[in-house]
Structure 1
Amino acid sequence: MRRRLALVLAATAACCSHAAAPPASPTHAAESVLHGVPVPDPYRWLENPADPAVQQWIAAQNAYTEATLAAMPEGKALTARVQQLAITSTTRSGPMLAGGTLFYLQQTPPQAQPVLVAQAWPDGAAKTLVDPNADHGGTAITGYWPSPRGRYLAYGTAEGGSELTTLHVLDVASGKTLSDTLPCAGGGTTPQGVAWDADETGFSYVRFAPPAAGREVVQFNATLVHHALGRAFGADTVVFGKGYSKTAEYVLVNSPATAQAAVLAYDGDGGPAEVFVRRGAAFKRVLDRGANARTAAWVNGRLYVASFDNAPRGKIVAVAGDGTIVPVLAQRDGAIQQIAPLGDGFLVVRSRGPDWWIEQYDERANFVRRVPLPAQGIGIGDIASESGRPDALISYSGWTTPTRWMAYDGTSGTLKTVFAVQPAADYSTVVVQRVEGTSKDGTKIPVTVLSMPGVTPDGARPTILYSYGGFDIPIKPGFIGANLAWLERGGVLAYANIRGGNENGQAWHAQGQKLHKQNVFDDFHAAALALFDTRWTDRKHLGILGGSNGGLLMGTQIVQHPADYRAVVARVGIYDMLRHETEFANGPYNIPEYGSIADPAQFKATLAYSPLQNVKARTAYPAVLMTTGENDPRVAPWQSRKFTAALQNASSSQQPILLLTRMHAGHGIGAPFSQRVGDTAIGLTFFAHELGLPVR
Structure 2
Amino acid sequence: MRLAIVRLIVIFGTLLGASSFCAAQVQPAAVLPARDVLPARDVSLIDPDRTPSMPPSTPQGKDASVLHGTSVSDPYRWLENPDNPSVQKWIAVQNAHTEAVLAAMPDGKAMTARVQQLAITSATRSGPLLANGTLFYMQETPPQPQPQLMAQLWPNGKPRVLIDLNANGGNTAITDYWPSPRAHYLAYGTADGGSELTTIHVLDVATGKVLDDALPWAGGGTTPQALAWDADEKGFTYARFAPPQGNAEVRQFDATLVHHVLGEPTSNDTVVFGQGYSRVAEYRLLSSPGAKQLAVLTNVGDGGPAGVYLRDGTQWKKIIGDEANVRLAAWVGQRLFVASFADAPRGKLLAVDAQGAVSQVLGERDGAIQGVDPIANGFLVTRSWGPDWWVEQYDARAKFVRRLPLPEQGISVGSIAAEQGQNQALISYAGWTTPSRWAEYDARSGHLKAVFKVKPAGDYSNIDVQRIDGISTDGSHVPVTVISMRGITPNGKRPTILYGYGGFDIPIAPNFVGANLAWLERGGVLAYANIRGGNEFGEAWHAQGQMLHKQTVFDDFHTAAVALIDKQWTDRAHLGILGGSNGGLLMGASLVQHPGDYRAVVSMVGIYDVIRHETDFANGAYNVSEYGTVSDPAQFKATLAYSPLQNVQPHTAYPAVLMTTGANDPRVAPWQSRKFTAALQNSTTSDQPILLLTRVNAGHGIGAPFSQRVGNTAIMLTFFAQELGLDAK
Range of TM-score over shorter length: over 0.9
Which structure would you say has the larger RCO, counting Cα contacts within 8 Å and 6 or more residues apart? 2
What letter corresponds to residue 191 of structure 2 in structure 1? A
Partner of residue 109 from structure 1, selected from 129, 142, 152:
142
SS for the counterpart of 2:290 is coil
Secondary structure of the corresponding residue to residue 47 of structure 2: helix
Would the aligned equivalents of 1:16 and 1:64 in 2 still touch at CA under 8 Å?
A: no
Equivalent residue for 1:329, pick from 362, 372, 376: 362
Assess, with a 3 A threshold, how the Cα gap between structure 1 residues 343 and 538 changes in structure 2: closer, same or farther: same
Q: What secondary structure does 2:631 align onto?
A: coil
Distance (Å, rounded) in 1 between the aligned partners of 2:262 and 2:254? 24
Aligned match of 1:447 in 476, 480, 485?
480
The Cα of 1:9 is off from its aligned counterpart by: 4.7
Equivalent residue number for residue 318 of structure 2? 285
- Give the corresponding residue for 1:423: 456
SS at match of 1:14: coil
Distance (Å, rounded) in 2 between the aligned partners of 1:279 and 1:389: 28
Letter in 1 for 2:333: N
> Which residue is equivalent to 2:13?
none
Separation in 1 of the partners of 2:597 and 2:630?
Answer: 29
Contact 2:43 2:93 (8 Å CA) reproduced: no
Q: Could you tell me which of 99, 107, 116 is aligned with 1:83? A: 116
Q: Does 1:73 align with 2:106?
A: yes
- Give me the whole-angstrom Cα distance separating, in 2, the residues matched to 1:327 and 1:655: 57
Residue 677 of structure 1 and its aligned partner are, at CA, apart by 0.5
Please, which of 251, 266, 271 is the counterpart of residue 218 of structure 1? 251
- Once the two structures are superposed, what CA deviation does each residue of 1:449-499 show, in whole Å capped at 9, x if it has no partner? 000011000000000000100000000000110001000000000000000
The counterpart of 2:523, out of the listed 466, 477, 490, is 490
Pick the aligned partner of 1:36 from 45, 69, 74: 69
Deviations 1:101-120 (A, max 9, x none): 00000000000000100100
Shift, 1:253, TM fit: 1.9
Rounded to whole Å, the distance in 2 between the matches of 1:385 and 1:161 is 31
CA deviations on 1:290-338 (whole Å, 9 max, x unpaired) are 0100000000110000000110000000001211101100000000000
| Alignment pair present for 1:593 and 2:626 | yes
1:519 is matched with which residue? 552
Count of aligned pairs between the two proteins: 690
Amino acid of the structure 2 residue aligned with 1:576: D
State the match for 1:47 in structure 2.
Answer: 80
CA distance in 2 between partners of 1:15 and 1:547 (Å) = 33
* One-letter identity of the residue aligned with 2:647: N
1:280 shift after superposition: 2.5
TM-score by length of 2: 0.94
Correspondence 1:432-471 to 2 at 5 A: 432-471=465-504
Report SS of the residue matched to 2:296: strand
Question: Which residue matches 2:211?
Answer: 178
Which residue, 433, 437, 446 being the options, matches 1:404?
437
Q: Does 1:566 align with 2:615?
A: no
Confirm whether residue 152 of structure 1 aligns to residue 185 of structure 2: yes
Distance 1:53 1:138 in 2: 28
Partner of 1:234: 267
Q: How far is 1:285 from its partner?
A: 1.2
Give, as a single letter, the amino acid of the residue that structure 2 aligns with 1:486.
Answer: W
For the 8 Å contact 2:228–2:236, the answer to whether it is kept is yes
State the AA in 1 paired with 2:304: G
Question: Conserved in 1, the CA contact under 8 Å of 2:327 and 2:340?
Answer: yes
User: CA contact under 8 A between 1:138 and 1:160: conserved in structure 2?
Assistant: yes
1:450 counterpart letter in structure 2: I
Distance 2:41 2:71 in 1: 28
* 2:614 is the alignment partner of 1:578: no
Tell me the alpha carbon deviations over residues 129-152 of structure 1, each in whole angstroms, 9 at most, x when there is no partner.
100111101000000000001000
Contact 2:289 2:420 in 1 (8 A): no
1:541 and 2:574 correspond: yes
Match of 1:368 among 375, 397, 401: 401
Structure 1 residue ranges, 4+ long, deviating more than 4 angstroms after superposition: 7-11
- Report the Cα offset of residue 17 of structure 1: 6.5
Q: Partners in 2 of 1:20 and 1:686 — Cα distance?
A: 13
> Which position in structure 2 is the counterpart of 1:662?
695
SS at match of 2:462: coil
CA distance in 1, matches of 2:291, 2:214: 25
Q: Which residue of 1 aligns with 2:535?
A: 502
Once the two structures are TM-superposed, the CA of residue 254 in structure 1 deviates from its matched residue by 2.7
Secondary structure, in 3 states, of the residue corresponding to 1:546? strand
Match of 2:54 in 1: 21
**Partner SS for 1:436:** strand
Letter in 1 for 2:322: R
Counterpart position of 1:346: 379
Shift of 1:279: 2.2
Contact 1:195-1:259 within 8 A present in 2 as well: no
Residue 476 of structure 1 is matched in structure 2 by: 509
Q: Structure 1: 5+ residue runs without aligned partners?
A: 1-6
- Is 1:640 equivalent to 2:673 in the alignment? yes
Give the letter aligned to residue 111 of structure 1. Answer: Q
SS in 2 for 1:19: coil
Residue 646 of structure 1 aligns with an amino acid whose one-letter code is A
Instruction: State the 1:15 CA deviation.
Output: 6.5
Contact 1:149 1:256 in 2 (8 A): no
- Contact 2:289 2:333 (8 Å CA) reproduced: no
**SS of residue paired to 1:517:** helix
Cα deviations by residue, 1:119-176 (Å, 9 ceiling, x for unpaired) = 0000001110100111101000000000001000000000000000000001000000
Q: Which amino acid aligns with 1:310?
A: D
